[in-house]
């Protein structure tokens, strides 16, 4: 439990002031401002745990993410927030999962519609890590991105999380635009192998499976 509470870290002076993404001084007036969001590491278990045992603290973390979004010239929620910067590392835009979970569970007292807008805008940055291709095709081509399968799967989960938030808020029209999450699994998965692969390998592997011996005989 000690290690669980090391990060994220408080990032503000005793009067609530801190340096924002725009490199200006801001003041957190009604919440504790946090940073060190290594979200690929924490969205699966740490933030859901905070929602149960420290809901107010997790709500403040979402407010910190919204501050990041509002101060950032690119209008994106954190990818890997580090003080007045973003490290831009790790797959996905998992802040949307944290935001959606906190709102649906009633742990965020900010404007949920504004938070949904931030989630959708983050997921719509076409020039970031293959998002444009993912939006157009439902997957990221391997010849365009060295982590195509990983990114595709991460984006699909994140879009599903946004869709749950949109449904919770009664914004059904936004769910249609997030339908890639529903078709991605059919595009890059091979059920017999319980495996996801780049699209260009699909036909090759299907042919191999057709002529291979049953798996139990191989084993």
pLDDT at 97: 97
pLDDT higher than threshold 90 for residue 78:
yes
Under 8 Å CB-to-CB from 164, ≥6 apart: which residues? Answer: 100, 104
User: What is the pLDDT, as a whole number, of residue 188?
Assistant: 63
Q: What are phi and psi of 80, to 5 degrees?
A: -150, 85
CA distance 48 to 105: 10
pLDDT tops 50 at residue 174: yes
pLDDT of residue 215 exceeding 50: no
pTM of the model: 0.87
């Amino acid at each position: 439990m000690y290690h669980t509470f090391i990060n994220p870290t408080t990032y503000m002076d005793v009067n609530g002031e801190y340096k924002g993404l725009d490199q200006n001084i801001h003041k957190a007036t009604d919440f504790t401002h946090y940073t060190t969001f290594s979200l690929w590491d924490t969205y699966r278990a740490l933030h859901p745990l905070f929602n149960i045992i420290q809901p107010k603290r997790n709500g403040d973390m979402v407010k910190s993410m919204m501050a990041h979004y509002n101060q950032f010239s690119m209008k994106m929620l954190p990818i890997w927030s580090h003080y007045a910067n973003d490290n831009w590392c790790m797959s996905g835009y998992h802040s949307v999962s944290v935001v959606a979970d906190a709102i649906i569970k009633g742990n965020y007292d900010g404007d949920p519609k504004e938070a949904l807008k931030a989630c959708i805008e983050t997921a719509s940055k076409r020039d970031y890590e293959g998002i444009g291709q993912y939006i157009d095709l439902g997957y990221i081509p391997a010849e365009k991105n060295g982590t195509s399968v990983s990114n595709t799967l991460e984006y699909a989960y994140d879009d599903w999380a946004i869709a749950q938030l949109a449904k919770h808020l009664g914004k059904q029209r936004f769910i249609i635009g997030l339908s890639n999450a529903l078709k991605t699994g059919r595009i890059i998965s091979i059920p017999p192998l319980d495996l996801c692969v780049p699209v260009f390998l699909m036909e090759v592997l299907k042919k191999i499976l057709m002529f291979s011996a049953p798996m139990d005989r191989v084993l």
